[in-house]
Amino acid sequence: MNILTLMYEFFKTGLFSVGGGLATLPFLYEMSDRYPDWFSHADIADMIAISESTPGAIGINMSTYAGFRVAGIPGGILASLALAAPSVIIILIIARFLAKFRQNSLVEGAFYGLRPASIAMITAAGLNVAKVALVDLNAYAASGNLGDLFVWKALILAVLIFVGQKKLKWSPVIFIALSAVAGILFKF
Amino acid sequence: MNELLDLYWTFARIGAVTFGGGYAMLPILERELVDKRHWTTMDDLRDYFSIGQCTPGIIALNVSTFIGEKRRGVRGALAATVGFLTFPIIIILLIALFLTNFAQLEIVQHAFAGIRVCVCVLILQAVLRLWKKSVVDPFTLGLYLAVFALNAFSGLVLPFKIPTAVLVILAGAVGVLVSGRKNRGARKEGEGK
């Protein structure tokens, strides 16, 4: 029963997440709120990190990892297949009608609205990770001092990574590895 | 049969070396499928990507399904898609098995706290990359801000949180309405002249 609920949730995620793997994030946060024993918000942030440093599309990595957390190895495999199923079905239909699909002004109009909506939801997901990584609400509540609200060493690291990625154009994997080392050295 | 296996194995190999999701996949696909195997053209590949970007699901998967379908119909599509999924699933399962034992260690927790900072930056950069093609005029900017506010804060202001799926459907509907009115406006202007 638990596995069926899991597959249903990931099928729904696959059906409604438009715009790539990160678009699955808001659905994962929703799932975490609805089924707190599946995975926590902090777990989702860890999943993103693992996804970024391993091969494959981020959405698939997330469903495998979340599925494993809920129901072991079968959970991981079934959640991934459930996530993939709706897009396979839809692409098979589109492939048959490709020429018509491209010229349809209704479809064009829908995408005109969907694109900004999808990056808005990715932004909101980023804010959720930032709340865990860059901000310390407990320290702020305890001292009432605004300077305690931000985790300053984390903010400095964030700026360094941002500038470093712009200038150096290394793979994200390298920056993730370096951030892990920084986290260990400076006790994040 | 041989071609199905070939499709499966080609996409399994591509899936094993694609880090960072769909956007990182394009150069690899170009080399493997256009230059080496001549299974598709660069123009078709770009079209598959642009459709994959605006249809539900993972972009890289959508592209695998498209090319599999083009080669061998439905069975080809399934072979390519399952091929693409194979190594990522195996690798994540291994990591998940391995990490359940180590996630409690203090050193691992410090490492992940550092990694989370990096993830914030990666998401910010993904948003900046997508911004240009998505937020193209005042309407799309307004829609971006509205969806962001509803997605991030509706749970704080309203007694309930608006489900993400509802936001996606609404955004698509609003897009159809506004672009439809724009097109009619443009046509009327053309007739006036």
| Tens of pLDDT, residues B158-174 | 777 777 778 878 888 99
Contacts of B21 (CB under 8 A, 6+ apart): A20, A21, A22, A51, A57, A58, A59, B58, B59, B60
Q: Which residue has the higher pLDDT, A104 or B100?
A: A104
| Same structural domain, A24 and A94 | yes
- Domain with A93, as residue range(s), is 2-133
- Domain with B2, as residue range(s), is 1-102
Contacts of A166 (CB under 8 A, 6+ apart): none
Please tell me the predicted confidence (pLDDT) of residue A60.
82
Residues in A touching B77 (Cβ below 8 Å): 88, 91-92, 95
Exposed/middle/buried for residue A121 (C-beta within 10 Å: 0-12, 13-18, 19+): buried
H-assigned helices in B135-163: 138-157
Please tell me the predicted confidence (pLDDT) of residue A152.
85
Q: Given pLDDT bands bounded at 50, 70 and 90, which one contains residue B25?
A: low
Mark yes or no for CB contact B113/A111 under 8 Å.
Answer: no
Between B23, B131, B152, which is nearest A124 by CB?
A: B152
Residues in B touching A119 (Cβ below 8 Å): 127, 130-131, 134-135, 144
Query: DSSP 3-state assignment of A170?
Result: coil
| Same structural domain, B84 and B127 | no
Average pLDDT over residues A47-61: 72
| Same structural domain, A119 and A42 | yes
CA A73-B62-B80 angle, to 5 degrees, is: 65
Please check the confidence at residue B88 and state whether its pLDDT lies above 80. yes
If one counts the domains in chain A, the total is: 2
Q: Which helix (H) or strand (E) holds A23?
A: none
Between B21, B131, B165, which is nearest A119 by CB?
A: B131
For the segment B116-127, what is each residue's pLDDT rounded down to a tens digit? Answer: 888 888 878 878
Question: How far is Cα of residue A187 from the mean position of the Cα atoms in its chain?
Answer: 25
| Same structural domain, B12 and B97 | yes
Tell me which residue of A103, A118, A116, A106 sits closest to B179, measured CA to CA.
Answer: A106
CA B88-B120-A177 angle, to 5 degrees, is: 55
For the segment B61-73, what is each residue's pLDDT rounded down to a tens digit? Answer: 888 999 999 888 8
For the segment A118-155, what is each residue's pLDDT rounded down to a tens digit? Answer: 788 778 878 877 888 888 777 777 777 777 777 888 88
Mean pLDDT (chain B, rounded): 81
Q: Which residue has the higher pLDDT, A169 or A83?
A: A83
Are residues B126 and A93 in contact, defined by beta-carbon separation less than 8 angstroms?
no
Q: Given pLDDT bands bounded at 50, 70 and 90, which one contains residue B86?
A: very high
Please check the confidence at residue B4 and state whether its pLDDT lies above 80. yes
| Same structural domain, B8 and B97 | yes
Residues in B touching A11 (Cβ below 8 Å): none
If one counts the domains in chain B, the total is: 3
Average pLDDT over residues B9-35: 74
ipTM of the complex: 0.70
Please tell me the predicted confidence (pLDDT) of residue A82.
94
Contacts of B49 (CB under 8 A, 6+ apart): B22, B26, B59, B63
Please tell me the predicted confidence (pLDDT) of residue B193.
43
Please tell me the predicted confidence (pLDDT) of residue A39.
81
Q: Given pLDDT bands bounded at 50, 70 and 90, which one contains residue A21?
A: low
| Same structural domain, A77 and A143 | no
* Selected residues 57-116 of chain B with any CB under 8 Å from a CB in chain A: 57-62, 65-66, 69-70, 74, 77-78, 81, 84-85, 87-89, 91-93, 95-97, 99, 103, 107, 110-116
| Same structural domain, A129 and A161 | no
Question: A117, A133, A149: which is the final residue of a domain?
Answer: A133
| Same structural domain, A61 and A10 | yes
Please check the confidence at residue A115 and state whether its pLDDT lies above 90. no
| Same structural domain, A123 and A164 | no
| Same structural domain, B39 and B116 | no
Tell me which residue of B89, B69, B90 sits closest to B7, measured CA to CA.
Answer: B69
Q: Which residue has the higher pLDDT, B93 or A37?
A: B93
| Same structural domain, A10 and A102 | yes
